[in-house]
């Protein structure tokens, strides 16, 4: 799954990959593979009694898209290991209308009585007498419901691209754990089985699943039965089905596999970019993992809608991705969305191996899926798009992870997951970005070739099976990767961020470093006491001297490295730790900033700003480094730095220091925007288009009058020409104009939203309505969100937009209308939604309000609320000092 995240971290300055030519073929999936008749191991958690396991499912469903219900029939081949009165399977909101158990070796069908446990999400099939061990076929007919949220079989309503009329498509989303809303099943990752899926659908609709269509039969009533080919052995959460008025744009990738983009009819060439990038990345992964992609096709299915929680899902052979990050519409797609289309597809394609072919045994090891897919995606994105400087984004990922990992509410990467709520909340920055950062650090430590050899061995050994983290470390160590298990265990099982304090002294042409290990914490109150010691891989460089690799394994250590230049401890920025230099060492680095590699420049700025914000040093050292980056910097670095100035500006309250900082930022950065121009130039690099957007956003938000005026001029042109804003900068201009909107501007935006015929465009207008700084307009945006006028998925977007500038108002509104809003975000996501809304608040009154909300939730669901509360308390504790020191720095910096 691709989580929603502001930054998409990338792995590294990746060495060009020498691809070994010979590919090991994965063991071919037999249609009905022999399963050893042993019960599941007790080492893997399970909700189900360990009496039976499935080998094959035959499913037929008949959806009624208008009534939002479906009828299903399932036959499950299973092995019963121990005599039992009943069989327990998962089932959630399914009504079983009949069930029997047929011995496959012959004999009479055994009628089964069915009872449901809604809380446990299970169905109990009870026989009149004990079921003897043996092979059976469990047959059941049932009905289920089609929801409006992506859980189970769900419906998306969207305007047809040719007629503008609302149409409905059906899709499935089963991670995690919602296959049980679709079919009675053993809905846990270690119960792998093969699947035969068939569906009865309207004759003029396209149906899509993991495998290609094997057979289509016309039925009466203008319907048809579509039967898909048998899937390989896989986990239930990877099964997929969609039906709707779709078109498919396909081509053969270099490895012979057909890749296709399934999109709403009328999408046309909007699918081209995604199709071509999918065809590019798939064969790269064949080579990298040393196992050829085993299915005959790989589709990526456009979901015309959005979720507050994820962007895409890696169903085997049939990825699903929300439209805004899959289709390239020249009228609305921004340069960062283009990069997101590429990297999201890369992430989901990596999952076809890491997750689909080899799957974590249980959700404790979800990071094996997500950390790896994130890391691998950035590796391939960087490989094919070196001009994007994707390695800088890895630093954004590191910062996101550390922001969560440095709070007392953090958790280990490998965590205990027991309940459905636990599963849903496992998809967070620790699982994704910390997981990715730790993997990048380990790859760098053992070397790219050893790392790849280990991964190839792991894939070959565990194909079509399940693993735990230690299986991976064993494979890397088997390939020659020393210390991997030890470092990986420490970083994945002990939560928190190592902090290295560094003192450097120079003598006789070498630098001697005295290192002390501590833990970086955003919470001053939890800085004392006994701290863990991690084995930390260091790559130390003193000026032009050769880099020295060192594994720090004790609380204190000394290292001597050649050279006497400025010392960089985390050279290359792949280590997951913070570095607090003594004053002299940091001054030396700041003074020689221009000589550092781009990735080190950015990493050093981010690391030191974070240390300043947390109070480990004053604000000045972090800001001095930030100010070192010239406006003429390379486009990617410049865009990131402009964004950092924008967030620094956001720390201040209205007043003289804020105005002074705004002027300073505008004076420095508007010449760069002027040089780029307000409009994209034909044929310019994507990074220039992106930088233009970032500068407009940053300058627009710090009060640059020229940018605000231009945004309003462009917005007002919409009154006479609805296409006036079309182009890659549309989202950016809209955001700037909307934040400064007066009543007339806002009404114009609202009319554009209502008149818009494209879903992505409509959502763009609706969410921009929430960005208004004017509190009266923000209030109206909230009221509009639940008025029934915007579509169901736009409503939460409007609310989160309002929360960016008015978190307290948005929170109060959501609390007051909880009964209406909970179903819009989905029951399972409501706590995370609430928590995100208060993510920027600095209002002490919110403490009590958040606590009161948290008290209404069960403990396992309240975790994100507790995290949000901890984050708020940390902001309240740190913000006064940050503001004071920032204002003091401005007094000196202003004179420079």
Catalytic residue ranges:
348
CA-closest candidate to residue 497, choices 529, 521, 524? 521
- Residue 50 CA, distance from chain mean position: 33
Residue 73 CB, shortest distance to Zn ion, in Å, is 32
Tell which positions 715-744 bind Zn ion, by CB under 5 A: none
CA-closest candidate to residue 766, choices 805, 782, 775? 782
Check binding of 312 to Zn ion (CB under 5 A): no
Q: Which is nearer to Zn ion, 370 or 382 (CB)?
A: 370
Residue 176 CB, shortest distance to Zn ion, in Å, is 11
Q: Which is nearer to Zn ion, 160 or 422 (CB)?
A: 422
Give the HSE-up count for residue 731: Cα atoms under 13 Å, Cβ half-sphere: 21
b/e burial code for range 219-250 (CB count within 10 A of at least 16 → b): eeeeebbbbbbbbbbbbbbbbbbbbbbbbebb
Q: Which is nearer to Zn ion, 366 or 502 (CB)?
A: 366
Contact 91, 177 (CB under 8 A): no
**Phi, psi of 96, rounded to the nearest 5 degrees:** -85, 130
Binding mask 364-393 for Zn ion (x = CB under 5 A): ------x--x--------------------
Residue 414 CB, shortest distance to Zn ion, in Å, is 17
Q: Could you tell me which stretch among 1-9, 142-150, 453-461, 870-878 binds Zn ion (CB under 5 A)?
A: 1-9
Contact 175, 1 (CB under 8 A): yes
**What is the Cα–Cα distance from 571 to 441, expressed in whole angstroms?**
12
- Measured at the alpha carbon of residue 328, what is the angle toward residues 325 and 331, in degrees to the nearest 5? 115
3-state helix, strand, coil in the chain (%, to 5): 45, 25, 35
Q: Which is nearer to Zn ion, 238 or 542 (CB)?
A: 238
Binding mask 12-41 for Zn ion (x = CB under 5 A): ------------------------------
Between the alpha carbon of residue 312 and those of residues 71, 91, 208, the distances in Å are 27, 24, 16
CA-closest candidate to residue 243, choices 167, 324, 161, 184? 167
Residue 370 CB, shortest distance to Zn ion, in Å, is 5
| Strand blocks (E) in 265-382 | 297-303, 310-313, 318-322, 358-360
Q: Which is nearer to Zn ion, 360 or 539 (CB)?
A: 360
**What is the Cα–Cα distance from 45 to 188, expressed in whole angstroms?**
9
Tell which positions 835-894 bind Zn ion, by CB under 5 A: none
Burial of 557 (0-12, 13-18, 19+ CB in 10 A): middle
Residue 373 CB, shortest distance to Zn ion, in Å, is 4
Show Cβ contacts of residue 199 under 8 Å, excluding neighbours closer than 6 positions: 60, 61, 62, 63, 207, 209, 225, 226, 241, 243
Residue 417 CB, shortest distance to Zn ion, in Å, is 16
Show Cβ contacts of residue 45 under 8 Å, excluding neighbours closer than 6 positions: 362, 364, 417, 418
Check binding of 176 to Zn ion (CB under 5 A): no
**Phi, psi of 371, rounded to the nearest 5 degrees:** -60, -45
Q: Which is nearer to Zn ion, 131 or 373 (CB)?
A: 373
Q: Which is nearer to Zn ion, 345 or 878 (CB)?
A: 345
Contact 778, 770 (CB under 8 A): yes
Inter-axis angle of helices 598-614 and 619-628, to 10 degrees?
160
**What is the Cα–Cα distance from 710 to 429, expressed in whole angstroms?**
37
Q: Which is nearer to Zn ion, 231 or 344 (CB)?
A: 344
For Zn ion (CB under 5 A), the number of binding residues is 3
Residue 313 CB, shortest distance to Zn ion, in Å, is 8
Residue 397 CB, shortest distance to Zn ion, in Å, is 14
Residue 121 CB, shortest distance to Zn ion, in Å, is 23
Q: Which is nearer to Zn ion, 237 or 388 (CB)?
A: 237
Residue 372 CB, shortest distance to Zn ion, in Å, is 9
Q: Which is nearer to Zn ion, 423 or 850 (CB)?
A: 423
Q: Which is nearer to Zn ion, 287 or 370 (CB)?
A: 370
Q: Strand pairing of 246-252 and 258-264? A: antiparallel
CA-closest candidate to residue 59, choices 300, 230, 243, 220? 230
Residue 371 CB, shortest distance to Zn ion, in Å, is 9
Show Cβ contacts of residue 598 under 8 Å, excluding neighbours closer than 6 positions: 389, 392, 634, 636, 637
Between the alpha carbon of residue 137 and those of residues 58, 158, 220, 575, 833, the distances in Å are 10, 40, 30, 52, 42
Residue 295 CB, shortest distance to Zn ion, in Å, is 18
**What is the Cα–Cα distance from 745 to 739, expressed in whole angstroms?**
10
Contact 72, 167 (CB under 8 A): no
Between the alpha carbon of residue 826 and those of residues 154, 227, 309, 688, 854, the distances in Å are 12, 31, 10, 39, 17
Name the token pair of 448: 């790219």
Between the alpha carbon of residue 319 and those of residues 97, 205, 234, 316, the distances in Å are 32, 19, 15, 7
Name the token pair of 461: 């050994």
Contact 322, 306 (CB under 8 A): yes
Tell which positions 313-372 bind Zn ion, by CB under 5 A: 370
**What is the Cα–Cα distance from 566 to 125, expressed in whole angstroms?**
70
Contact 222, 498 (CB under 8 A): no
Give the HSE-up count for residue 815: Cα atoms under 13 Å, Cβ half-sphere: 17
Q: Which is nearer to Zn ion, 89 or 373 (CB)?
A: 373
Residue 7 CB, shortest distance to Zn ion, in Å, is 15
Q: Which is nearer to Zn ion, 1 or 697 (CB)?
A: 1
Tell which positions 558-597 bind Zn ion, by CB under 5 A: none
Check binding of 1 to Zn ion (CB under 5 A): yes
Residues forming the site for Zn ion (CB under 5 A):
1, 370, 373
């Amino acid at each position: 799954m691709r989580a929603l995240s502001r930054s998409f971290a990338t792995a590294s300055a990746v060495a060009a990959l020498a691809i070994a030519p010979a590919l090991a073929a994965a063991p071919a999936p037999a249609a009905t593979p022999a399963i050893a008749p042993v019960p599941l191991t007790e080492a893997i958690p399970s909700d189900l009694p360990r009496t039976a396991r499935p080998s094959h499912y035959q499913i037929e469903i008949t959806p009624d898209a208008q009534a939002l219900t479906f009828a299903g029939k399932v036959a499950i081949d299973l092995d019963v290991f121990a005599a039992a009165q009943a069989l327990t399977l998962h089932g959630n909101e399914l009504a079983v209308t009949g069930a029997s158990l047929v011995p496959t070796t012959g004999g009479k069908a055994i009628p089964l009585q069915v009872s449901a446990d809604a809380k446990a999400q299970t169905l109990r099939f009870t026989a009149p007498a004990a079921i003897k061990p043996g092979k059976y076929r469990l047959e059941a007919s049932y009905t289920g419901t089609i929801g409006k949220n992506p859980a189970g079989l769900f419906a998306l309503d969207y305007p047809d691209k040719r007629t503008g009329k609302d149409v409905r498509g059906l899709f499935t989303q089963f991670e995690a754990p919602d296959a049980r809303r679709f079919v009675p099943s053993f809905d846990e990752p270690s119960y792998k089985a093969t699947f035969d899926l068939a569906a009865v659908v309207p004759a003029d609709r396209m149906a899509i699943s993991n495998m290609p269509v094997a057979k289509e039969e016309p039925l009466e009533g203008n319907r048809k039965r579509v039967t898909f080919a048998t899937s390989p052995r896989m986990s239930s959460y990877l099964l997929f089905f969609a039906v709707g008025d779709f078109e498919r744009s396909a081509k053969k990738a270099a490895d012979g596999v057909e890749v296709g983009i399934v999109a709403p009819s009328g999408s046309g060439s909007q699918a081209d970019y995604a199709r071509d990038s999918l065809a590019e990345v798939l064969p790269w992964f064949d080579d990298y993992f040393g196992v050829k992609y085993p299915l005959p096709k790989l589709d990526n299915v456009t979901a015309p809608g959005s979720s507050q929680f994820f962007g895409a899902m890696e169903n085997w052979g049939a990825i699903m991705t929300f439209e805004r990050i899959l289709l390239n519409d020249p009228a609305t797609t921004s340069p960062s969305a283009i990069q997101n289309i590429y990297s999201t597809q890369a992430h989901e394609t990596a999952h076809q191996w890491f997750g689909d072919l080899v799957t974590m045994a249980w959700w404790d090891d979800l990071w094996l899926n997500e950390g790896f897919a994130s890391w691998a995606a950035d590796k391939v994105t960087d490989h094919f798009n070196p001009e994007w400087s994707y390695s800088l984004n890895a630093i954004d990922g590191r910062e996101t992870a550390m922001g969560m990992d440095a709070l007392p509410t953090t958790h280990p990467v490998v965590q205990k997951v027991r309940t459905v709520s636990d599963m849903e909340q496992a998809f967070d920055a620790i699982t994704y970005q910390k997981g990715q950062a730790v993997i990048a650090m380990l790859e760098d430590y053992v070397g790219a070739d050893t790392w790849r050899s280990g991964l190839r061995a792991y894939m070959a050994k565990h194909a079509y099976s399940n693993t735990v983290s230690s299986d991976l470390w064993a494979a890397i160590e088997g390939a020659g990767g020393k210390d991997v298990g030890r470092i990986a265990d420490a970083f994945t099982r002990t939560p928190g961020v190592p902090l290295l304090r560094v003192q450097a002294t120079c003598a006789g042409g070498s630098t001697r470093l005295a290192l002390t290990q501590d833990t970086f914490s955003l919470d001053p109150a939890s800085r004392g006491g006994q701290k863990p010691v991690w084995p930390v891989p260091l790559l130390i460089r003193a000026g032009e001297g050769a880099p020295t690799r060192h594994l720090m394994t004790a609380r204190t250590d000394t290292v001597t490295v050649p050279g006497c230049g400025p010392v960089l401890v985390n050279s290359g920025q792949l280590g997951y730790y913070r570095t607090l230099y003594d004053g002299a060492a940091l001054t030396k680095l700041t003074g020689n900033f221009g000589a550092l590699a781009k990735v080190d420049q950015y990493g050093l700025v981010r690391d030191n700003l974070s240390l300043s914000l947390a109070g480990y040093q004053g604000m000045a050292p972090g800001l001095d480094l930030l100010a070192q980056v010239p406006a003429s910097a390379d486009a990617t670095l410049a865009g990131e730095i402009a964004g950092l100035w924008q967030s620094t500006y956001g720390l201040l309250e209205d007043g003289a220091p804020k105005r002074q900082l705004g002027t300073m930022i505008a004076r420095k950065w508007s010449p760069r925007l002027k040089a780029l121009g307000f409009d994209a130039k034909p044929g310019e690099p994507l990074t220039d288009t992106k930088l233009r957007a970032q500068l407009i956003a940053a300058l627009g938000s710090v009060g640059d009058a020229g940018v605000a005026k231009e945004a309003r001029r462009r917005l007002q042109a919409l009154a006479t020409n609805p296409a006036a804003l079309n182009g890659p900068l549309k989202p950016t201009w809209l955001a700037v104009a909307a934040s400064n909107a007066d009543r007339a501007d806002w009404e114009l935006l609202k009319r554009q939203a209502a008149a818009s015929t494209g879903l992505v465009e409509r959502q763009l207008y609706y969410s921009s309505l929430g960005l208004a700084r004017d509190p009266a307009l923000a209030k109206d945006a909230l009221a509009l969100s639940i008025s029934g006028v915007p579509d169901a998925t736009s409503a939460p977007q409007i609310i989160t937009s309002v929360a960016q500038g008015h978190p307290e108002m948005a929170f109060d509104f959501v609390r007051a209308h909880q009964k209406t809003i909970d179903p819009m975000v989905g029951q399972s996501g409501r706590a995370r939604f609430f928590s995100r809304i208060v993510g920027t608040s600095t209002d002490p009154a919110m403490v009590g309000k958040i606590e009161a909300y948290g008290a209404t939730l069960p403990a396992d669901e309240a975790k994100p609320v507790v995290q949000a509360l901890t984050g708020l308390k940390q902001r309240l504790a740190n913000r006064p000092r940050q503001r004071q020191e920032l204002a003091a720095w401005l007094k000196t910096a202003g004179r420079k």
